[in-house]
A and B are shown apart, each in its own frame.
Chain A
Amino acid sequence: MVELLDETPRVRSVVLDPPDWGGHLAGQHVDVRLTAEDGYQAQRSYSIASAPEDEHLVLTVERLDDGEVSPYLVDELRPGDELELRGPIGGYFVWEASTGGPLLLVAGGSGVVPFRSMLRHRAAAGSDAPARLLYSSRSLDEVIYRDEWEGLGADVRFTLTREQPEGWTGYARRIDGELLAEVAWPPAERPLVYVCGPTVFVETAAEALVALGHDPARIKTERFGATGGR
């Protein structure tokens, strides 16, 4: 472990320099395994936040109070410590510059992590595929990589569902068919859609997109839960 970065009060990025890392695709994840002194093991999956082109491997971890792995990663891990990783894992929820677009990314909370990897990859690869991210967060304080989105060359739109700062001009409601109709390209333009977030969020967004006429075969989803890490 090289460095720990504060993203929000509950979220930190763990910067890693794994030996013999063979590279990854944007959107993939790794499994992190912790072993206690008595041999007890706990394992969770975390999405990779860095682009394949980045120097280090970055995982972004949300601290779950009753979690077995995330409190250790967020609170206990120190630079120089070693972690047991397996990965990169997953070949489905990935995007490569050669895949093209238009690329529509829909994120709920820390579901935005793989999209940072995709948009950094898109920028690094010089892709001209149009990209749009709709990112739902409870409040501005909980927006991850807040200072970074503007520089990625994508159309990034926020919706703050619980609390908005004074003078907020972005969206302030939960993601539903109406909001998706406003933000998404029309189905006729056949955008490639990725939805990532908690299960209920993903199902609401995916069902609304299908109802709007988007081809289910062009909608990829990834769900995470309190025990699934990510």
Chain B
Amino acid sequence: MKQLFLLLIALSMFACAKRTIAPSINIISREAQGLVLVECDGKGSTRAVAETDAKISVLNRLLYDGVPDSDVTAVRLPMVEDKSKLTSQQRSDLSKLMQGEAINRYFTEVNPLGPKNGSGNQLQRFSMKINYDLFRRDLENKGIVRKFGL
């Protein structure tokens, strides 16, 4: 009985242990033509790192998964239909679009939602406006996604 009790205590401590969860992304609204407001989690030791992580997460979601349950229908389908068919050149070009200052072009407004919780590699939530029209145009110009048509 005592051993069973200790086992239960150990299991409950394990269940309560901190776990890193995948960043959640919510599309809030369509602000204007080509502009969408989202909320997204980012992970990082500092706010700046967490913000960049959030931006990359959002763009990756729009690129590869889409947001099927969104009321903003423009982002329901992924921009890249098949990630596995991207060539190494396309992946390299894509990586350049999402690095450093280049990625900031696609975000017109970024606001942290609440203070950063604790220290270390923690999740923080941001609201951000994404110019997905500009993102799509850059992807088309680099040949990462096909322009509308055949």
A and B from one assembly? no
